[in-house]
Amino acid sequence: DTGVSQNPRHKITKRGQNVTFRCDPISEHNRLYWYRQTLGQGPEFLTYFQNEAQLEKSRLLSDRFSAERPKGSFSTLEIQRTEQGDSAMYLCASSLLQAHTQYFGPGTRLTVL
């Protein structure tokens, strides 16, 4: 069990550029979650997958955000036409299907200049 991994750990981009983050969950974890955390706040839910199916999306997930989990293993989160307000820590978590506990990765810190 190597834990949840996320890449890259840091990303600096200019406003208007597209960025993509990757999350590799704990192996055999069916569920994968994306959260966003800004300074001084707790993580806020963005979306989650059960295997390859995206089951829920938050209203926070504007049209510029898209997430995929094509083979039910790793997931990608893409932000198009980044804005300065997108600067945050993007966290990925995973869990077993019937479990209530989620295990988080180290996060990807995005800075939009």
Partner 1 sequence: QKEVEQDPGPLSVPEGAIVSLNCTYSNSAFQYFMWYRQYSRKGPELLMYTYSSGNKEDGRFTAQVDKSSKYISLFIRDSQPSDSATYLCAMSRGTDKLIFGTGTRLQVFP
**Contact residues for partner 1, defined by CB under 8 A:** 4, 6, 31, 33, 35, 40-45, 48, 55-56, 58, 89, 91, 93, 95, 97-107, 109
Q: Are 48 and 28 in contact (CB under 8 A)?
A: no
Nearer to partner 1, 12 or 81 (CB): 12
Q: Please state, in angstroms and rounded to a whole number, the distance separating the CA atoms of residues 17 and 104.
A: 27
Contacts of 43 (CB under 8 A, 6+ apart): 35, 36, 37, 91
Q: Please state, in angstroms and rounded to a whole number, the distance separating the CA atoms of residues 27 and 100.
A: 17
Residue 81 CB, nearest approach to partner 1 (Å): 26
Residue 16 CB, nearest approach to partner 1 (Å): 26
Nearer to partner 1, 55 or 113 (CB): 55
